[in-house]
Structures are given as C-alpha cells and as structure tokens.
Structure 1
Amino acid sequence: MIKKIEDNLNNFLLKPQFRIYRHLLLLLVSISIAMNVLWDVPDKIILTDNRIFIAVAYLATTLVMIYFNIYILVPRLLIKNKFTQYVLSAIGLVTFSLIAIVLMQEFLYDVPGISREHIIENQVKPNAHLAENDKSGSIVAVLIGVTSSIFGTALLIAGVSTFMLFRYWTINNQRISDLQSATLQSELNFLKSQINPHFLFNMLNNANIMVDEDPETASQILTKLDGMLRYQINDSMRDRVDLEEDILFLTSFLDLEKTRRDHFEYTVSNDGDLSNIQVPPLLFIPFLENAIKHNPDNNNLSYVHLYFESRNNQLTFRCENSKPANPIERKVGGLGLANIKRRLDLLYGNNYSLELNETETTYTVNLQFKV
C-alpha cells in the first residue's frame, strides 16, 4: 500500500502527463495566498473593488515570481551550482515583489469602517488624535499584511525551488540508470553479434591459411584480432575512451575485413585535433558493422569511408559505404536504428544530430554531438 502511494506520488511529481495538474495545484496555492488580502479582518471578507484589484495584482505578481524562478533562475543558476548568484537573484525577486505590493497597498488599500473622507474629516475635529490612532492602526495592518504576504511568497518560492531540485535529481538519476542499462545491453548485444564463433573462426582460419604462404600477414591478423578482443572485453566497459583508441579499433576492424575480401577498399580520415577527445565506447562500431554487413559485393569493388572532424567542441562522424546491386535490408548493428537513437538520446539529450542519407549507390551516416 505504501509502495503504491509512493509510486503514485512520484508519477504525479515527475510524469509529463501530470504536468497540467501540477500547474493547477501551484495556481490554487498562489490563489490561497493572494486571497489573504480579502480577509485581514477576522471572520470577515472584504470584497471592495480595491481589495479585489489588489488580490488579482498580487496573484499575478506571485505567479510571475514563481514561474520566473522555475524557468529562469532554477535551470540557469541553481541547477548549475551557482548558489550565490541564485540566492542574490531570489532576494532581488522577493524585493521586487515587496516594492510592488507596498505600492499597491499604499494607493489602493482600504481599511474596513474607515474611509478616506472619514479620516480627513476627523483630522479637523478636536478629537483628531482618534483619527490618528485609526490611521496608525491601518498602517500597522498594512505592514502586517505585507510581511505575511512576503513571508508566504518567500516560502512558496523556496518550496518550488526544493521541488525543482528534487525533480531534476530524480530525473537525472533515472536517466543515468536507463543509460547504464541501455549501454550494458548494447555492449552485450554487440559482443554477441560481433565477437561470435563465426567471426573468430573466419579470422583464425585466414591466419591459419597464411601461416605457410605469408607468415607476416598471419601474424598481423592475430595481433589485430588480439587488440580488438582486449578493447571490447576490457576498455569497452569504461564510461569514456579516447577517440584515437576507438579509431584504432575501427581501423583494425576494417583491416581484418580487407584480408578476407578481394574487392574491398576503405579510408579513415580526420580533421582537427582529436587527441583530447573522449567518447562513449562502442558508439561508432554499430554503424561500421552495418556498413560492412550490408555491402557484400564480391564481384565489384565495394568500399567504406570513415571521417572524423573536431570543430568548436563539436565532433562530426561520417560513415559512407557503397551499395551492392541487390542491397540487403539494413538493421544498424543488429540492434536496430531505434536502439541506436535511444542510446544517443540518453547520452546527449538534444545535443546531437543523426542523419541517414541513401542514394542508389551509397549509404551515408552523419552524426554530430558536443564533446
């Protein structure tokens, strides 16, 4: 029962489909605070034009403060650990609200039972000190109302900020959990589809055939295969790997492919400084494996061209391969394009672009993301 309540509460606080209900709840809380203007006298609601106008204006001011805090201050300052700037900005926001409310109550606030004409009339009578007492009482009432309003608004902003922090923290933890799960599953599926007995058998068989004919080539095959296995078993389990290491792995993969195909060419080129760039492991391999798997033309020349470019903290990856006369329906990396996009979404959010371009003779993948 308690678990169900917690799940329902988390769904209400975090799920996008409940967003409108969260905003309605926030609106109701803001209205309840603004309505205090209408009953600052015990057991009596004052529905004068001035009071209603002040309540509406105060509600609008409160909502502006809250949503400015939600969409500007929290994501740009608080979430980015700029606590000092956030606190100063929040104080400035509350101060602005205080000035606005004081001005509204100064010019529009009316005290029940005491009109402006009554105060002016009493000021010229002998008992003018009574009018002064009434006026002092009204000032005290205004100050109490302003103080309680500002205090309530400050608490509301603090509560909203706490909720936003909790929401960002929960979503980030869920995103990390999903990313780890997707990454592990992707790595597992990739290892199953790439380093499988059939692949190993082909490479080892090629090396065995060349032991007598070309011992040097056989040694190179085994060396590259050893490096690939070490990379996929050990280095691929890290969160980040050097891009140059990943490119070396891709090159070894292409070298091995070339040894078993007579009409196959490839290039690996780059532009910009790639030395200090780190990327998630096994990120480009599904695209390369897809390019090779769906390019089995043994009668005509087939090719794969890889290109990397680093510019202004942006990495561009392009993989272009030829298409055979009778192309095979492609599934990226054996995982499906949807899973590849899912992993990119988890890794980079909205900070990447993936384009797939196909012509009669070529298939090209263009991937860009921030590094």
Structure 2
Amino acid sequence: MKPDRKSKLYVHLLFWILYYILEVYLDFYWSRYQFPATGWQTRLQNTIVLEFGYLLIKMPLAYALLYVYETTGLKKFLTYILYCFIMVAAVLTHRFFTHYIIYPHIYGVTETLDGKQPSGFINGLVAFNSFMDLIFMAGLIFGVEITRQKNLLKEQISLLKSEKLDQELTMLKAQINPHFLFNTLNNIYGMALKKADETPDVILQLSKVMRYNIYEAAERYISIDKDVENIKDFLQIQQIRHHDLVIRFKEDIDQPSQEISPLILIQFVENAFKHGVSETLGQSFIHIDMKLNNGVLHYHIENSKEEKPHGNSTKIGLKNIRRQLELLYPKHSLTAESTNDRYIVNLIIDFNDSSRF
C-alpha cells in the first residue's frame, strides 16, 4: 500500500472510531433524561446499535462530499448535482431510520416534537435537524481530510527541499576537498624539491587531515571540537613549511559537542594561506580567535598579505563557503575587510537559530 493511502486509512479509521465513541457518549447521556425509567445497560445497548445505524448513513455522504471536492472541470459540476440528490436521499434515510425504526422498535415510543405532539415522517424541524446532523459530520471528515492532505504536502515539500539542499552541499564539498588537497600537495611538492627534512612529517600530518576530509566531512554535522582539531592539524602543516610564520590561535568554547557542518571553518584558514600568507614576502602571520558562548560562534581570522599580490587567485573556496552558509545558516553574519597589509574575516553563527534539515 502506498504511504499516502496508508496514512489516509489510518487517519480516517481513527476519525470514525473517535466520532462513533463521541456520538455514543452524547446519545447515551441524552437518553438518561429522555428515558429515565430504562436501565443504563439497556440504554447503552440501544445507543450502540442506533449510532452504528446512523454511521452507515453518514459515511457514504461524507465520502461523496470528498469525491466532489477532488473532481475537476465539467465533472465537478455534475458531481455537485449528484451530491444534492445524495444529500436528499441521506436526509430521507435518516428520517426513516429515526421515525420508523429507532423510536418505535428501540425506544418503544412514538417520535414527538416536544414530548407530547407526535412528529410525522416529513416535518420541517426534524428534517432540518437531520440535515444539520449529516452536514456537520460531513464537514468534520472533510476538514480532517483537507488537513491531512495539507500536512502531507508540507512534508513532501520539506523532503524535496532537504534532498535538494543535501545534493547541493554534497556537490560543494566535492569541489572543496580537491581544492584543499591540491593546495597542500603543492606545498609538499615545493618542500620535496628542496629536500626538506620536514617532508615526511608533513605527509604524515596531511594523511591525518585527509582522513578527516574523507570520513568526518562526509557527515552532515560533526562536533565543533573535531573541526577545531582539524584546523590545528592544518596549521601544523603550514608551520613546518613556513618557518617564519607567526601563528596565534585562541579558542574559548563552552560546549565542545556543539554540532557544525564540516569544512566550513577550515576554508577561511585555507584561503588565508592560499591568497595571503603564502604571498607575503616579509614575515607572515595568521591570527585566529574562536569563541563559542551560549550557542553563538564568533570566528575571527586576520592574516598578512601583500599590498599588490601577484598571481591569479581563484576564489572557488570562498564562493562555496558562502553558499554553504546561506543554505545551513541563513541568518549568519560574514564580513571581510582588506587593508594594505592584512585581510580580516569575521563570521558569526547563531546555532540557536540555524537551518537543520
């Protein structure tokens, strides 16, 4: 059975069970005043039987209304006309069941309007009461079904959005990982040409970073302490290559288990080296301040750069990270400032108001 039909079956079954129980309760409560001399067991038994009979009349009327709602075009106009005949037939059946079966055979009395005056089979007041009883029930099931359909539609739209975002983030990560790897391999290549003694250590450190990129970054969210550890590993690689590099890394994290999307923070650091520190002719530096307090992350990066950097610099990493932030943290704050000798990035993420899908 399809999920939609299964959902509809369960919702409608629950509705009719609850509706039947409510009608039995109300009619049983009413009968204690209408027929005080009758024992409660008899009244309860009679109520169960007669409400079941009413249910058999109401259910076809209810689903006829749903059928009218779901039809379109000329067919919808014809079904409206048909539904009017069905409503008239339902009212007549309701009156017949009430007047000729319930009162004489179940209650053992003649149906009356005020307890004294006998009521005929067709009477304006009792016919109106029958109509209101039927239309009220049909309106209830109609409202339940429309609400169910709207909720189902919202779930489907939410699922489609989630799948679309997931696919886009996967594509962005697929672009980021090779970008990071190529930059680091270029660093190792330069060290290998110089036959630097630190080359094996850098390769070992790179394997640790790539293990993070392959396995940890495949998750939708990771703890921020793992992300910080990856940043530190990356900085160690760069420290070995740039002997004169001044690194300052400050962290103040009150909740290390706070989840964050992987490869967000590292990209700012990687860009700082690719387009700033690596191009600095004099002493280079990178200052990182990270503070997480009450679910709000403040991330500050300041790095050295040349006044007129040479070479072509691709900004695919920064473009990707901006897009990820838009998808995952729509209300984030990201500012970048460039001066003659330094580049400054400030990022604020409020994890209390983030888009988790």
* TM-score for the superposition, normalised by structure 2: 0.56
- Output the CA distance in 2 between the equivalents of 1:269 and 1:251: 11
1:203/1:221 contact within 8 Å kept: no
Residue among 156, 161, 169 paired with 1:166: 156
User: 1:300 and 2:269 equivalent?
Assistant: no
> Aligned-pair distance for 1:132?
9.4
Q: Classify 1:269/1:351 alpha carbon distance in 2 versus 1 (closer, same or farther; 3 Å).
A: same
Number of the residue aligned with 1:112: none
Amino acid at match of 1:359: T
Residue among 166, 184, 187 paired with 1:199: 187
Number of the residue aligned with 2:293: 311
SS of aligned partner of 1:356: strand
- Output the CA distance in 2 between the equivalents of 1:321 and 1:250: 15
User: 1:154 and 2:139 equivalent?
Assistant: no
Q: Classify 1:141/1:255 alpha carbon distance in 2 versus 1 (closer, same or farther; 3 Å).
A: closer
Amino acid at match of 1:271: D
- Output the CA distance in 1 between the equivalents of 2:262 and 2:271: 17
Residue among 226, 232, 240 paired with 1:251: 232
Map of 1:111-122 to 2, 5 A cutoff? none
Q: Classify 1:146/1:243 alpha carbon distance in 2 versus 1 (closer, same or farther; 3 Å).
A: closer
Amino acid at match of 2:344: T
- Output the CA distance in 1 between the equivalents of 2:285 and 2:294: 30
Q: Classify 1:360/1:195 alpha carbon distance in 2 versus 1 (closer, same or farther; 3 Å).
A: closer
- Output the CA distance in 2 between the equivalents of 1:158 and 1:182: 36
Residue among 336, 351, 356 paired with 1:356: 336
Residue among 205, 208, 214 paired with 1:224: 205
Amino acid at match of 2:251: N
1:294/1:330 contact within 8 Å kept: no
Cα deviation, 1:13-34, whole Å, max 9, x if unaligned, reads xxxxxxxxxxxxxxx969x99x
User: 1:326 and 2:315 equivalent?
Assistant: no
User: 1:182 and 2:179 equivalent?
Assistant: no
Q: What is the aligned-residue identity percentage? A: 19
2:269/2:301 contact within 8 Å kept: yes
SS of aligned partner of 1:301: coil
Q: Which runs of 5+ in 1 are unaligned?
A: 1-27, 44-122, 212-216
> Aligned-pair distance for 1:238?
4.3
SS of aligned partner of 2:257: coil
1:269/1:308 contact within 8 Å kept: yes
> Aligned-pair distance for 1:268?
0.8
> Aligned-pair distance for 1:278?
4.1
Amino acid at match of 1:315: L
> Aligned-pair distance for 1:267?
0.8
Amino acid at match of 1:310: L
Counting matched residue pairs gives 249
Residue among 266, 288, 310 paired with 2:247: 266
Q: Classify 1:331/1:368 alpha carbon distance in 2 versus 1 (closer, same or farther; 3 Å).
A: farther
Q: Which runs of 5+ in 2 are unaligned?
A: 1-67, 87-112, 353-357
Residue among 268, 271, 292 paired with 1:290: 271
> Aligned-pair distance for 1:235?
4.2
- Output the CA distance in 2 between the equivalents of 1:173 and 1:195: 32
> Aligned-pair distance for 1:285?
2.5
* TM-score for the superposition, normalised by structure 1: 0.54
- Output the CA distance in 1 between the equivalents of 2:312 and 2:299: 19
CA root-mean-square deviation? 4.0
1:243/1:279 contact within 8 Å kept: yes
2:290/2:299 contact within 8 Å kept: yes
Amino acid at match of 1:133: N
Asked which structure has the greater CA Rg, the reply is: 2
- Output the CA distance in 2 between the equivalents of 1:145 and 1:299: 84
1:357/1:363 contact within 8 Å kept: yes
- Output the CA distance in 1 between the equivalents of 2:279 and 2:145: 70
User: 1:368 and 2:357 equivalent?
Assistant: no
Cα deviation, 1:85-113, whole Å, max 9, x if unaligned, reads xxxxxxxxxxxxxxxxxxxxxxxxxxxxx
> Aligned-pair distance for 1:239?
4.1
Amino acid at match of 2:141: F
- Output the CA distance in 1 between the equivalents of 2:130 and 2:227: 72
